[in-house]
Each structure stands twice: as structure tokens, then as C-alpha cells.
Structure 1
Amino acid sequence: MKTIFVTGTAGSGKSSLVSKLYEYYTRNGAFAATLNLDPGVESMPYNCDVDVRDYVDYVSIMQEYNLGPNGGLVMANDLIASKIDEIQNDVNNINPDYLIVDTPGQIELFAYRSSGRFIIDQITSDEKASIFLFDGSIITTPVNFVSIALLATSIRLRLNLPTINAITKTDVIDTKLKDILQWSTNTNTLENAISNDTDGETYSLTTSILRGLNLSEFEQGLIPISNLTGDGIVNLESALSRILNLGEEVED
């Protein structure tokens, strides 16, 4: 079994991508299954094979412990870690070729708490990889791009997984997509864009962050994908195969 964790900021399209990946693998003869790790989600665009909401009731936790929404999610995510053996048993009973994991909408609850890393380590798998989604509607300015690149680097450090970076919502940023792709592969171009867009303290801080980041992981460029049409999924799967299957791709 190969496991793919889909991560990114809230609203970046994680659940939609899980659905598209599931459809892609299934259409091409691979046995895929989905695991939802978000206890607070109300609906999903795919049929969930293993769902943490079957083990942890987020609403009941808030009521029982008199917690607000954020406190309830924190406790729910920590409780999920205590159920990992049961979750693993459910996954083993399905025994898919690919397990596609939908992580919580609030990525900080998963990536920055010890329970998130524990869940990743405890899921038994031949190979594991992560996809980090750059929300296309957010990264249309160079400062925002650097900010999300910093977050992506931080998440990769926390999860300690081989990571593929992808841009979502390409349908709504058509005029800016070329600029964003250039920023992801050419530091000088990005620094010039920052200079043209900002000045003073913002420029100094942004360029300092940029120079401190190791952007070598972006050398092959971000992978543009459309969760609406599925465009780019083939390129994303090819990148996944280089990590998970030593380059042996699922036939399209």
C-alpha cells in the first residue's frame, strides 16, 4: 500500500483533489481508498472508505467539555491519535493499492501538534508522500507567494515526508498563472516582483525570508491542477509515481 497525504490551507481544495485522485486511480485500474482525518468536516465530494468521524464526535466533544469550535477540534484531533490502531485495522481490511488521506482543513491542528506526526508515523505503508496545495486565489502577489512557500516548507519539516507542491484553482487565476510559475522556478524573477510590489519593511522582511528558504524543491516547478476539470492530474500522478513507485506510473 502507498499512502498520499493531501495538505494545504483551509479552502485550498484538499477534499476536491482527494476526489480527483481517487477517480484517476480507479479509472486506470488501481485499487484506491480514501481516509478522512478531519473530524469537523460536514460533507465531502467523495465516498469515504475510512472516516475518523466514526470514532470521534466533534460536536459531542464540544458539548461535553464546554469547548469552543477550535478547542473542540484540538481535542478531537488528539483523540484520533488514540484510535489509530482501529483506523489502521479498517485500512488493512480494505487493503488498497493507494490510500489517499484528506487532512484537516485547519492544517496547523494536524501538522503542528504531536498527534498529527504520530498518526503519519503509525499508518503502516510501503511508501508515503505528501501533496501541499498552494491556493491559487491566494498566491497572486509575490508577498503572498513567499508566505505560502514558507508555510509549505514548515509543513514539510513537520511531517518529514517527500512532498509535491501543486497550485489549485488554476481556472480562476489564468492571467496570473504564468507569473506564479516563473516565481516558483526563478528566484531573481520573484525578488524583482517583490521589489516592484512592495517597499520598506515589507520588502526587507519578504526578501529575507525568500533568501532563507531552500527553493530547490520548486526547481521542477509547481504543478498546476484544476479540481474543476481534472487538468494536471496526470502530471501530479507522474510526480507521485517518481516517489511512490520508482517512476512506474499508472497507465492513463
Structure 2
Amino acid sequence: MKTIFVTGTAGAGKSLLTSKLYDYYTKNGIFASVLNLDPGVRDLPYTCDVDVRDYVDIIDIMQQYELGPNGAVVMANDLIASKIDEIQEQIGKVNPDYLIVDTPGQIELFAYRSSGRFVTENILSEEKMNIFLFDGALITTPVNFVSIALLATSIRLRLNLPTINIITKTDLIGSKLKDILEWSGNLKVLENAIAKEADGETYSLTTNILRGLNLGGFAQGLIPFSNVTGEGLINLEGALSRILNLGEEVED
């Protein structure tokens, strides 16, 4: 089994990408399944094979511990870690070739609490990797782009997994997509764009962060993905295969 985690900021399109990736694998004869790790989600665009909502209940937690919604979600995510053996047993019964893991909408609950790292490490798998979603609607300015790039790098550090970065919502950003792709592949172009937008202090801080990210290997380009049409999914699958299967791509 190979495991693909799907991470990103709230509203970036994690569940939709999970659904489309699952459909793509299934269409091509690959046995894929989905693990939903978000205990607070109400509706999902796919059918879960393994669902943490079967193990923890937000409403029950709120009532039992007299917590508000936010506190209950935090506790629920920590309780999930205590259920990892049961979750792993259920995954083993399904035994897919690919397990796609849809992570919580509040990325800080998954990536920065020890319970999230614990779950990531204790899902048994031959290979693991992460897809980080850059919300296209959030990165149409160069300073915002660098801010999300910093978050993506931080998540990669926390999860300690090979990571592919993609841009979602390309349908909504029009000609800005071209700018974003240039920023992701050309440090000088991005620095010039920042200089036009930011004051001296912001420019200095942003470019210093940017150069650190570039030295860390961030500037490898992003894969555009359309939430509406699914365009870009073949390129994404190819990138996944190069990491998970030594380049053996799924035939479309």
C-alpha cells in the first residue's frame, strides 16, 4: 500500500482533490480508498472507506467535556491518535493499493499538534508522500505567495514526507496563473514583483524568507489543478508516480 496525504489551508479544495484523485485511480483500474481524518466535516464529495467520524463524535465530545465547537475539534483530533490501532485495523481490512488521506480543514490541528504527526507516522505503508494545496485565490499577490510557500515548507518539515505542491482554483484566477507560475520558477521575477508591491521592511523580510525557501529546494514549480474540470490531474499523477512508483505512471 502507498499512502498519499492531502494537506492545505481551509477551503483550498482538499476534499475535492481527494475525490478526483480517487476517481482517476478507480477509472484506471487501480484499487484506491479514502481515509477521512477530519472529525468535524459534515459533507464530503466521496464515500469514505475509513472515516474517523466512526471513532470520535464532535457533538458527544462537546456535551461530555462541556466544550465549544473549536475545543471539541481540538480534542477530537487528539483522540484520533488514541484510536490509531483500530483505524489501522480497518485500513488493513480494506487493503488498497493507494490510500488517499483527506486531512482536517484546520491544518494547524493536523500538522502542528503531536497527534497529527503521530497518526502520519503510524499508518503502516510501503511509501508515503504529501500533496500540499496552494489555494489559488490566496496567492495572487507575490507577498501572499511567499507566505503560503513558507507554510508549505513548514508543513513539509513537520510531516517529514516527500511533497508535491499544486495550485488549486485555477479557474478563478485567470491571467494571474501565469504570474504565479513564473514566480514559482524564477526567483528574480518574484523578487521584482515583491519590490513593486511591498514597502522596504516588508520587501526585506519577504525576500529573506524567499531566498531561504529557494535554497531549501522549494522553487521547483507548481502543478496547476482545476477544481472544476480536473485539468492537471494527469500531471499530478505523473509526479506522484515518479515518487511512489519510480516513474511508472498510471495509463489514462
Shorter-normalised TM range = over 0.9
1:212-251 residue pairs with structure 2 within 5 A? 212-214=212-214, 217-251=217-251
The answer (yes or no) to whether the contact 2:213–2:219 under 8 Å persists in 1 is no
Q: Could you list the runs of 4 or more consecutive aligned residues of structure 1 that deviate by over 3 angstroms after TM superposition?
A: 214-220
Would the aligned equivalents of 2:9 and 2:107 in 1 still touch at CA under 8 Å?
yes
Q: Which residue of 2 aligns with 1:164?
A: 164
Alignment gaps of 5+ in structure 1: none
Q: Distance in 2 between matches of 1:62 and 1:151?
A: 30
Size of the aligned set, in residue pairs, is: 252
Report the secondary structure of 1:213's partner residue.
helix
Structure 2: gaps of 5 or more residues: none
Find the counterpart in structure 2 of residue 74 from structure 1: 74
Q: Secondary structure at the match of 1:149?
A: helix
Question: Structure 2 CA distance, aligned partners of 1:56 and 1:214?
Answer: 40
**Kept after mapping to 2: 8 A contact 1:129/1:163:** yes
TM-score of the pair, normalised by structure 2: 0.98
Tell me the equivalent position of 2:103. Answer: 103
Query: Distance in 2 between the 1:161 and 1:85 partners?
Result: 21
1:73-122 CA distance string (max 9 Å, x none): 11100100000111111111111010000000000000001100110110
2-structure distance, mates of 1:49, 1:38: 14
Aligned to 2:128: 128
* Residue deviations 1:121-141 (CA, integer Å, cap 9, x gap): 100001001000000000000
Aligned letter for 2:195? S
2:99, 2:251 → 1: CA distance? 18
Contact 2:28 2:251 in 1 (8 A): yes
Name the SS of the counterpart of 2:45 in structure 1: coil
Residue 25 (structure 1) aligns with: 25
The separation in 2 between residues aligned to 1:25 and 1:224, in whole angstroms, is: 19
Partner AA of 2:138 in structure 1:
I
Residue 154 of structure 1: aligned partner: 154
1:36: how far off? Answer: 0.1
Q: After TM superposition, give the deviation of residue 201 of structure 1 in Å.
A: 1.9
Alpha-carbon deviations, 1:48-77, whole Å to 9, x = none? 110000000012111211112221111100
Instruction: Give the aligned partner of residue 13 of structure 1.
Output: 13
Q: Is the CA contact 2:130–2:163 (under 8 Å) kept in the aligned structure 1? A: yes
- What amino acid does structure 2 have at the position aligned with 1:131? I
